[in-house]
Amino acid sequence: MARKKKKRHQGDVELNLAAMLDMAFQLLTFFILTFRPSPVEGQVALRLPPPQAIANAKGGVAAGSDTSRTDPVKGVTTLVISVFSDPNGNVGSMGVGETGVATLPGLEARLKTIFADPGNPFEQVIIQVGSNLRYDALMKVVDICTQQKLPTGEKLSKLSFVEAPGG
């Protein structure tokens, strides 16, 4: 007599996902830790505008050649404000152009005098900032600058910041 084979019911194949995830994270970690970009990838070619002088003198006069001038700011298209900090990071000393200013109200008065003259058409204002100056102290100077009105009647809005040399 022929034997009948019993068919076993075979279940679905189950994959162990924990082992697969473990292997995936190991591969990911390996590639992240061993990735070293080539120097070419770190270089970015930028098209920057050509450099421009920050303090142009009008009329073709060389800077410092006119000894009869009493106001060193007059005739310059860029107003440079220098702000240096005291040891605590507060505003220590300031200067507008080559003229020293002792206090923030003094800075405001000096700027009002400069911007009230329609013969001083400044194109930009650059604030040279000492590296130890606290942010809130710098913002006080910026607030004073942005409250000024130009001879055209609009508020001063073109401000740039640079680190002061030796500051």
Residue 71, pLDDT > 60, answer: no
Query: Which domain, by its residues, includes 89?
Result: 82-163
| Residue 66 resides in a domain | no
| Residue 73 resides in a domain | no
- The per-residue pLDDT for range 12-46, each reduced to its tens digit, is 878 889 999 999 999 999 999 998 877 665 566 66
pTM for the structure as a whole = 0.52
| Residue 100 resides in a domain | yes
Are residues 125 and 156 in contact, defined by beta-carbon separation less than 8 angstroms? yes
